[in-house]
Amino acid sequence: MAKQLEDLDALFKGRHVERELIILCVRWYCRYKLSYRDLVEMMLERGLRVAHTTIMRWVQRYVPEFEKRWARYARKTGRSWRIDETYVKVRGQWGDLYRAVDRDGNTVDFRLSPKRDVAVAKAFLRKALRTQGHAPTCVTLDGYAASHRAVRELPDENPAWRRTKRRSSKYLNNLIEQDHRGLKSRTGPMLGFKNFDSAAITVAGVELMHRIHKDQFDISRLHLKDRTPASIWNAVLAA
């Protein structure tokens, strides 16, 4: 445990702000409709003077690490997936965000891409397969032809997809369209991103917080007595 705590200490080494406050800023920014400047004012009430650009750098630095550490506790999703695309504005242009949820509304995976085609659809499905460890028994798609072609061609490169059935249903995909709202309600107020890499990291942070909110992580093995958000985050990151 000492070695693990050393690793966590090393993650925040050199920061002139308490670890708990950095974690708080990052998770609040990704979860709530707050701007960086909103957080600057909120931290000032706690006696901390910090620039909005500093909080922005914290988000970019720590979201990937938070993702990896929470992933150890991720619950597997169901085998019936609903797949759809939504949009995120990057440098004034719309990027495509591929997302999938299972029949219970749990997030399967996501992938932000500057374009929308068969290759991108396949890349998203490969990523989802790596994340979940299994292919779905059924995928429900909208009418976009590239996504149908991707599912149709994947069994030729990976036998894991051979038993996956493909169907198209706008009604059944209402589930994921509603789930998009949780993401869009957070990314909308951000008024676009300056570059694609920062957009991808920020979206990953928003998706992580969305999954935590949906209780998609099993932290029972941590045997926590204190279940406050701060204690849960410290335990997950330190374990």
85 and 62, same domain (yes or no): no
Nearest residue to 208 via CA among 195, 217, 199, 196? 217
Extract the tokens encoding 198: 């920062």
pLDDT recorded at residue 80: 96
pLDDT recorded at residue 5: 45
Last residue of a domain, one of 178, 193, 208: 193
pLDDT recorded at residue 2: 44
67 and 101, same domain (yes or no): no
Give the total number of structural domains in the chain.
2
48 and 147, same domain (yes or no): no
CATH number at residue 181: 3.30.420.10
Rounded to two decimals, what is the model's pTM?
Answer: 0.92
> Does residue 198 form part of some domain?
no
88 and 187, same domain (yes or no): yes
Contact present, 109 and 125 (Cβ < 8 Å): no
Residue 40's identity, in one-letter code, is: V
pLDDT recorded at residue 69: 95
91 and 59, same domain (yes or no): no
> Does residue 199 form part of some domain?
no
pLDDT recorded at residue 148: 93
19 and 37, same domain (yes or no): yes
Nearest residue to 121 via CA among 92, 142, 105, 90? 142
pLDDT recorded at residue 168: 86
pLDDT recorded at residue 1: 42
Burial of 161 (C-beta count, 10 Å sphere; 0-12/13-18/19+) = buried
H/E run at residue 60 = helix 52-71
CA distance 67 to 79: 22
122 and 165, same domain (yes or no): yes
91 and 67, same domain (yes or no): no
CA distance 194 to 90: 6
pLDDT recorded at residue 112: 95
Range of the domain at 164: 80-193
Per-residue pLDDT of the chain (239 residues; tens, 9 = 90+): 444 445 888 888 888 899 999 999 999 999 999 999 999 999 999 999 999 999 999 999 999 999 999 999 999 999 999 999 999 989 888 899 999 999 999 999 999 999 889 999 999 999 999 999 999 999 999 888 899 999 999 999 999 999 999 998 777 788 899 999 988 888 887 877 889 999 999 999 999 999 999 999 999 999 999 999 999 999 999 88
Digit-coded pLDDT (tens) for 18-50:
999 999 999 999 999 999 999 999 999 999 999
